[in-house]
Amino acid sequence: MDDLGCGRAWADVHLVKGLRLACPEYGGRVFARASRQVIRHFSHQVRPRDCEPANESAEHHLLKLELAMSARAAGWRAELEVSSEAREWRADVMVFDEHDRPFMALEAQLSPMTQEEAQMRTDRYARDGVAVCWVALQDRP
């Protein structure tokens, strides 16, 4: 899809000379690229150890993209990697309501987690009035 979820199209950032893009997580320079399989992505100039999105699996990243595209196709605004103001949680995908307020986190959960961990993370979202939808490719608690 051309919409990057921020009011810009892929053509606005891919192969544009003189454009400097920065990682929203740690601020370092990134480049808009397309893989041999024509999968669009952003690549770090220097891969940081402490930038979580740079170190996630391709499967996790693609699932997050699918979740965001599905929410957008349903007419919602959705952004990847949105944190609470207090940094108590960070949603894989945040869906915003008609007043531009966060209302549902979509979590791509591919790694194992306990029922207690899921409840604790769900409760953190609930304290801020955000619902959460856990999405997995296997059975999870």
The first and second tokens of residue 9, run together, are 């199209």
* Angle at alpha carbon of residue 101, lines to 95 and 107, rounded to 5°: 30
- Spell out the per-residue pLDDT of the chain, length 141, in tens: 556 666 778 788 887 888 888 876 667 787 777 766 666 777 777 766 665 555 567 788 888 889 999 999 999 999 988 888 888 888 999 999 999 999 999 999 888 888 899 899 999 999 999 999 999 877 766
Contact of 94 with 123, CB cutoff 8 Å:
no
Give CA–CA dist 36/81, Å, rounded.
25
Q: What is the pLDDT of residue 71?
A: 94
Query: In terms of DSSP bridges, do strands 131-135 and 21-22 run parallel, antiparallel, or are they unpaired?
Result: unpaired
Identity of residue 64: K
Nearest to 106 by CA among 119, 116, 115, 96: 96
